[in-house]
Structure 1
Amino acid sequence: MTPAAAGVTARARRTATRLVATLLVGAAGLGGCSSGDDRPVPSPSTPFTERWRPQFHYSPPDGRLADPNGLVFDAGEWHLFHQQDGTWAHAVSPDAVHWTALPTALRHDELGQALSGSAVVDRANTSGLFDGPDGGLVAIYTSTAGGEAQSLAYSSDAGRTWDRYAGNPVLPNDGRKDFRDPKVFWHEPTRRWVMVVSLGDEIGLFSSPDLVDWEELSRFGAGHGLHSAVWECPDLFPLRVDGDPDQVRWVLTVSVGASDATDGSTAQYFVGDFDGTTFVRDPAVPPETVQETDVGQDFYAAQSYEHAPDGRRVWIGWMGNWRYPYSAPTHPWTNAMSVPRDVGLRTVDDEVRLVQAPVPELGSLRGEPTHIGPRAIGPDTVLPFTGSTFELETEIETRGARRVSVRLLESRDADGRLVEAVEVGYDDGQLVMDRTRGGTAGFGVRRSVPYHPRGGVIRLHVLVDESSVEVFVDDGALTGTMVVFPARDGRGMSLAAEGGDPRVRELTYWPLRSIWR
């Protein structure tokens, strides 16, 4: 059945439901969710100058940000919804870089909280929820009353106002403890909607012709990857391998809750095939293999955009960790999103690997570049830059060095001795991100993963923004994200090495302008 035909069938079925919804909403005085909250919407001129406030990452005007929700590109707008105390906060952007906050989209209702989920463009009105010919946006989220279940809301005005579906939940809880975070997309080969949703420490797949009536298809997860905690915020999408349109694989991503095994929360991905019913992981990969989406400490609940332009797959993650979800020493906001990233699949050392890169739209924030040519790296080589919002690209030849690192957001005492810094680099066969000397107590951690520079050259692309460091290694073959809160407002940079004769091959520095001013 085509989307259009499904829409005709569903439309008649939904008309009575919408009439009931209107009566229920009027009686309850809920107004759907159309009016949002009562907080004033900040103007584009909001200063956003508080200490540690990100200047080119999205952060809310106030309140506690968590999981990205409902990421969808529609009619020239990038929509970013996100968790904020069990509601869907909302912002929009023309370029995925400059954001305008809007009133809260989904608040609590008689079914409890509006937890994480996704949004789709139902142009063919398969749901039967829209009167006009252009359909609209449908949000699929987890409601909480009576146990976690999946519910719908819909919008006919580009996400500015929303109504809850009167028949919620559309996918009830059948006794499951963990049943949340639905990601929905249209699967063209089978002409139906597909949902991936968390079921404890595995994933359930469901299908629907109309976003309302769902049936279970299959499950994935048992015996595969990391199971140290609950799986959350799944996503499933196709990507070309090495850009080849004839080599398409599917990627299933999940975040894994906090545990001692991973010193907090983390995230993983699986590469395989999806036939519209079942996801099968690449049999060449041993089932127990864990492939991390980000090797830092603070990239969680990542979700990809539906309908991103030019066939791109773009995603955003919450820069946080369930070991300290709302402990940042910031006010009046808590937490921020990562930069949006283009994701792809590339063959690295005979392994198909998820790769990430900052979206090119961020280039609009660059100031004038400064280049440094070849030079030796000693135990403490100070760079002629200062800043807390910048982009850095460098290639470093290890030349027998045991350790080579870039030190960022650093402070020194009156005698020039290093007091505080975040370090990123190579340490005896490991890629290291170290914030143990990075500032505010309680956030000290050192993360490392095996890493062998190809041809003896370390290639780093680094984004630093007031309270975060994002590192893309070897064109995104490894990615690491850390939040950091410098106690001394450090802005210096340096290089450090032990052993060998390491040298900078080249280094480029760009200051980055604020998205708020």
Structure 2
Amino acid sequence: MCAADPRVSGGQLRRALRGLVVAVVAPVLVLCACTPPHDPRPAPSPLTSYAEPWRPQFHYTPPDGRLADPNGLVFDAGEWHLFHQQGGTWAHAVSPDAVHWTTLPNALQHDDLGQALSGSAVVDGANTSGLFDGPDGGLVAIYTSTTGGEAQSLAYSSDAGRTWDRYGGNPVIPNDGRKDFRDPKVFWHEPTRRWVMAVSLGDEIGLFSSTDLLDWEELSRFGAGHGLHSAVWECPDLFPLRVDGDPDQVRWVLTVSVGASDATDGSTAQYFVGDFDGTTFVRDPAVPPETVQETDVGQDFYAAQSYEQAPDGRRVWIGWMGNWRYPYSAPTRPWTNAMSVPRDLGLRTVDGQVRLVQAPVPELGSLRGEPTRIGPRAIGPDTVLPFTGSTFELETEIETRGARRVSVRLLESRDAAERLVEAVEVGYDDGQLVMDRTRGGTTGFSVRRSVPYHPRGGVIRLHVLVDESSVEVFVDDGALTGTMVVFPKRDGRGMSLTAEGGDPRVRELTYWPLRSIWR
């Protein structure tokens, strides 16, 4: 990144050096830390064990409280910052590797302008905003305030996001009578030398620009006639990616989450691939406007946001594993909801169409225990696998060989007669990719999701991450991704394969237990 980039300054080097001393401390130290009496922000609960029923062991959860949308995702000075919605405030955690997290006190509380709803953060390293005392700049958070209608406001931090000041001229984009006007995602657009904001406007996305993060002008809008419009559009993101890794083939991706509706049995998310010239986003004209490209084909991946300035030119994002059909109904205490694992993003040409592809970040490999591998074997109606666990990673290739249905059953439990009682099922069913938790446990979460899927060369390739209360599936190297939360009533730790018809076989299967990030 060139020195002329306004996000970068010599001060970042000094912050990076300070960042080298930031380490993940043992949870007991974090949870017992006390907030000074004059600081009104709550400290993490000292009562959390991170061992409660259904508590994820390698996904981020807050010590307590209700987690929702990821906010302000930015990499700075060696730290991955994860802010997230929690009761209309910005809760905060940091990580050196996007895997092991330290929870910090809340960053943004309510103020005279109401709640601090979803938004983004940038490194204003050249102090384009003039909000910082010196030339080194700092972090700027752009979020939605609520008093007088949804509007866009700023806060800024000179100490690596540990403390924040509100901008005295908030809101920087007032509400002009709009009902839905929220979730600003801001990034620096180098060709036009200005900041760009994508923000939700009902069921469209508005694009705004600014040279200083304070004064904004509207550029254009996108959405009318494109994709799914069954509910409000929320939490937009806009970023460039190489197609098939080719640096000469760069396209822009606009992602939006779509609120709960009967049409999608809750909330969902979609993306558009096209071009952005600094003013207007134009979808690929080869894709019919009504085409809906889902970000995730499961039930529980919402409000995903990507990291600004992720290292090595990567585009990494995280989503809220939840759904507005049941946003805070999980039977968990003292926390509710979790984030997905961080995922690397790319664009790949699949069957002549450019698709968004996702993969778990390689840093998760640090959690792997010793692998166990099994070789070729036939799959019958109930083929029990020699693994048990509720926090693990699995990769497998399965040859369908004429089978009508073949799938993996996870987090399963059986009765005394070894009959299946509970399980989450992932696999192929007569031309469909299926994620089924109708026998997954807790009532109120029964759902079966399916999308068209034809295994390439008759081989199903699955990469699966299972935690205490979630299943994330990456199919054919991330060409399809599915996310489900699940709350087994019993001690579901078994695994099996099942099939109907044909002569399906496991080509290979590898299983890794995954260590907890909390202990």
1:405 to 404, 407, 414: 407
Whether 1:101 and 2:115 are equivalent positions in the alignment is no
Q: Deviations over 1:266-311 (max 9, x none)?
A: 0000000000000000000000000000000000000000000000
Distance 2:149 2:48 in 1: 39
Partner of 2:503: 501
> TM-score scaled by structure 1?
0.93
Partner of 1:420: 422
Partner of 2:444: 442
Matched residue of 1:115: which SS? coil
Number of aligned pairs?
A: 488
Structure 1 residue 443: deviation in Å?
0.2
Letter in 2 for 1:307: Q
Partner of 1:39: 42
Whether 1:468 and 2:474 are equivalent positions in the alignment is no
Matched residue of 1:386: which SS? coil
Report if aligned partners of 1:267, 1:300 keep a CA contact under 8 Å in 2. yes
Report if aligned partners of 1:97, 1:362 keep a CA contact under 8 Å in 2. yes
Structure 1 residue 4: deviation in Å?
5.9
Matched residue of 1:253: which SS? strand
Distance 2:301 2:179 in 1: 25
Structure 1 residue 329: deviation in Å?
0.1
Letter in 2 for 1:41: P
Partner of 2:458: 456
Partner of 2:357: 355
RMSD: 1.4
Letter in 2 for 1:92: V
Whether 1:202 and 2:224 are equivalent positions in the alignment is no
Distance 1:450 1:37 in 2: 52
Report if aligned partners of 2:316, 2:343 keep a CA contact under 8 Å in 1. yes
Distance 1:151 1:490 in 2: 46
1:300–1:84 Cα change, 3 Å: same
Report if aligned partners of 1:36, 1:161 keep a CA contact under 8 Å in 2. no
Structure 1 residue 37: deviation in Å?
4.7
Distance 2:125 2:387 in 1: 50
Letter in 1 for 2:412: E
1:249 to 251, 268, 272: 251
Distance 2:251 2:217 in 1: 24
Report if aligned partners of 1:71, 1:306 keep a CA contact under 8 Å in 2. yes
Report matched runs for 1:385-404 at 5 Å.
Answer: 385-404=387-406
Structure 1 residue 134: deviation in Å?
1.4
Distance 2:214 2:374 in 1: 58
Distance 2:94 2:414 in 1: 40
Partner of 1:307: 309
2:265 to 252, 260, 263: 263
Letter in 2 for 1:513: R
Partner of 2:217: 215
Distance 1:296 1:156 in 2: 39
Matched residue of 1:362: which SS? helix
1:229 to 225, 228, 231: 231
Report matched runs for 1:39-58 at 5 Å.
Answer: 39-41=42-44, 47-58=49-60
Structure 1 residue 3: deviation in Å?
6.3
Matched residue of 2:110: which SS? coil
1:474–1:3 Cα change, 3 Å: closer
1:332 to 334, 338, 345: 334
Distance 2:106 2:307 in 1: 20
Which sections of structure 2, spanning at least 5 residues, go unmatched? 10-36
Distance 2:513 2:45 in 1: 26
Which sections of structure 1, spanning at least 5 residues, go unmatched? 8-33
Letter in 2 for 1:463: L
Report if aligned partners of 2:237, 2:306 keep a CA contact under 8 Å in 1. yes
Matched residue of 2:386: which SS? strand
Report if aligned partners of 2:183, 2:200 keep a CA contact under 8 Å in 1. yes
Letter in 1 for 2:177: G
2:80 to 78, 81, 85: 78
Report matched runs for 1:120-159 at 5 Å.
Answer: 120-159=122-161
Partner of 1:487: 489
Structure 1 residue 47: deviation in Å?
3.0
Matched residue of 1:364: which SS? helix
Report if aligned partners of 1:3, 1:125 keep a CA contact under 8 Å in 2. no
1:273 to 267, 272, 275: 275
Distance 1:381 1:134 in 2: 61
Structure 1 residue 489: deviation in Å?
1.8
Matched residue of 1:488: which SS? coil
Partner of 2:112: 110
1:186 to 175, 185, 188: 188
Distance 1:4 1:368 in 2: 45
Report if aligned partners of 2:48, 2:64 keep a CA contact under 8 Å in 1. no
Partner of 2:295: 293
Report if aligned partners of 1:47, 1:516 keep a CA contact under 8 Å in 2. no
Percent sequence identity over matched residues?
Answer: 91
Distance 1:294 1:199 in 2: 23
Structure 1 residue 40: deviation in Å?
2.7
Q: Deviations over 1:337-365 (max 9, x none)?
A: 00000000000000000000000000000
Report if aligned partners of 2:6, 2:124 keep a CA contact under 8 Å in 1. no
Report if aligned partners of 1:295, 1:478 keep a CA contact under 8 Å in 2. yes
Report if aligned partners of 1:35, 1:161 keep a CA contact under 8 Å in 2. no
Structure 1 residue 39: deviation in Å?
2.8
